[in-house]
Amino acid sequence: MVRGAAWGPGPPPRCPAPCPPLPLLLLLFALPAHGTYAAPAPRAEELSLGMEWLSRFGYLPAADPATGQLQTQEELSKAISAMQQFGGLEATGVLDPATLALMRTPRCSLPDLPPVARSRRRRQAQAPTKWSKRNLSWRVRTFPRDSPLGRDTVRALMYYALKVWSDIAPLNFHEVAGSTADLQIDFSRAEHNDRYPFDGPGGTVAHAFFPGDRHAAGDAHFDDDEAWTFRSADAHGMDLFAVAVHEFGHAIGLGHVAATGSIMQPYYQGPVGDPLRYGLPYEDRVRVWQLYGVRDSVSPTAQPDTPEPEEPPPLPEPPDNRSSTAPQRDVPHRCSAHFDAVAQIRGEAFFFKGRYFWRLTRDRHLVSLQPAQMHRFWRGLPRHLDGVDAVYERTSDHKIVFFRGDRYWVFKDNNVEEGYPRPISDFSLPPGGVDAAFAWAHNDRTYFFKDQLYWRYDDHTRSMDPGYPAQGPLWRGVPSRLDDAMRWSDGASYFFRGREYWKVLDGELEAAAGYPQSTARDWLVCGEPRAGVSVGGAQGGPQGRTQDGPAVCSCSAAARTLPLLLPPLLPGALGALARAP
């Protein structure tokens, strides 16, 4: 059974062996079922396209290679009529110019009908496949290389394309930063190790896989040779949002339909409108409801530890509307700062100093050399707040917690939760604030640090583990007094003090050899790398610098203010390691 989908006709594959003689094909395609001439005979290349096309998309069985049996005139005419009906054409049964034009229209390579057996056998009904779980993770694994769309824009469009489906069905999608996800999204070129190699601009443009397709279940691939667009006229490229909505329909188990206007029509239909306002046609709603049921305001399938739905991120403004705000006089310099707090949030690194922060992408590229203001990014922090003591992302619900003095705030994405700030005594922490906080994935616990003491806290039960505080340091070679700490996407934990940082490998209780290293050099692209030293310092640290200079993301100013998207994957079995220190 075919399990994927790819938009676009692609190059005509070879004719099913053995190919029928061309004179016979000319006769069969030129004649309707009743045997009278209705159209000029197609050319040889059109015949090859028509035969292969009808077989590929489920209208016609391939010729039997063992017996050399050919399709009959009646079979061919019925196949053409079925294709014409599905595509909204007059069902003449003749391979006429309109039918050939539709065959050349960009479309999905998933068959329109279930696979066709030999003519004397019945078609087997194609049972729908669907996810057995309702909380699905996703990530963009590779991004377009030469596209005007920034990475944050691509991620936001994927978010909105998935939200189209989760708005009406009891499915929850959350973005993750790790190496595994239920829905992996890639931008690739040519052959990329699946059944649907891309063919350059204008042919096959994307494909996706049904939930039951083993390791590739739910994955979506987009052709990196296409001119991907967003909020552009139809003639200016391929609308990424429209294609993504279609492909994610396959990723959750929907096949093609013939209904006019449906997003699951096999043929590319151009832009479908603003992602912020797009709603699925009724036919598509009914079909997804048949698979998963209707989404209530509170989904009955949700589990107690299910992350709450995310606030939709705003899409960037056009490049011409970039901010030209003059820098503030109190802006610190990243290369000389002793940072107040460091945190990994949604897979990205945030370095806080005073009222400002710097942000590094998942690929460890600095978004901008200039910092952003905290209260403009996290709406609800007081405008007069002149700094934070610690920041971390909770593993229990992926909300973001800020500490300052004896108070703390909890944010869902960029918006403060109602009722905050609250006293840090909620954590059973003493007055006076904390120096650092981070969640250690090794045992799924959150650690708080103050002077030479540390506490171990369970965010799932909202309780402090017995026996704390304890005397530091917990990790040998790491200072007992910290500015902050975080876990990075490479699996290691990083501890910061002053202008230096220490790296602790996953599960280890001792700093890696060769540390401390320079925070400014390895994370904030300051200075030149030393000759003969690999990217990131002696131990291959985190920042994506090269021997030719620092790596800075070329995101637009608008993209630099794009709020966080979706939370990372819940740690799952890590709770079993709670016996660790």
DSSP string, 199-210: -STTS--EEEB-
Distance CA 184, CA 191 (A): 17
Residue 226 assigned to a binding site: yes
Residue 340 assigned to a binding site: yes
Residue 330 assigned to a binding site: no
**Residue corresponding to tokens 């040889």:** 44
DSSP 463: E
Distance CA 405, CA 390 (A): 10
Residue 199 assigned to a binding site: yes
**Residue 258 corresponds to which amino acid?**
A
Residue 146 assigned to a binding site: yes
**Residue corresponding to tokens 């000029």:** 40
Query: How far from the centroid of its chain's Cα atoms is residue 140's Cα?
Result: 4
Residue 224 assigned to a binding site: yes
Residue 375 assigned to a binding site: no
* Angle of helix 151-166 versus helix 240-251 axis, rounded to 10: 50
Residue 182 assigned to a binding site: yes
Residue 215 assigned to a binding site: no
Distance CA 342, CA 438 (A): 9
DSSP string, 267-297: B-----S-TTT----HHHHHHHHHHH-PPPS
Which residues are known catalytic residues? Answer: 247
b/e code 212-225 from CB counts within 10 Å (16+ = b): bbeebbbbbbbbbb
Residue 219 assigned to a binding site: yes
Residue 74 assigned to a binding site: no
**Residue 374 host element (H or E):** helix 374-377
251: tokens are 């990723």
409: tokens are 């705030």
Residue 462 sits at φ, ψ, to 5 deg, of: 55, 50
Residues in the chain: 581
Name the 3-class secondary structure at 96: coil
Residue 274 assigned to a binding site: no
Give yes or no for a cis peptide into 421 (omega within 30° of 0).
yes
Residue 389 assigned to a binding site: yes
Sign of CA dihedral 260, 265, 269, 274: positive
**Residue 454 corresponds to which amino acid?**
Y
Distance CA 109, CA 118 (A): 21
For the chain, the 3-state helix, strand and coil shares in percent, each to the nearest 5, are 20, 20, 60
520: tokens are 């400014």
Residue 37 sits at φ, ψ, to 5 deg, of: -65, 135
Residue 64 assigned to a binding site: no
Distance CA 450, CA 448 (A): 7
Residue 555 assigned to a binding site: no
**Residue 151 host element (H or E):** helix 151-166
DSSP 574: G
Residues of the binding site for Zn(2+): 108, 192, 194, 207, 221, 246, 250, 256, 264
Residues of the binding site for Ca(2+): 146, 182, 199-200, 219, 223-224, 226, 340, 389, 437, 483
Residues of the binding site: 108, 146, 182, 192, 194, 199-200, 207, 219, 221, 223-224, 226, 246, 250, 256, 264, 340, 389, 437, 483
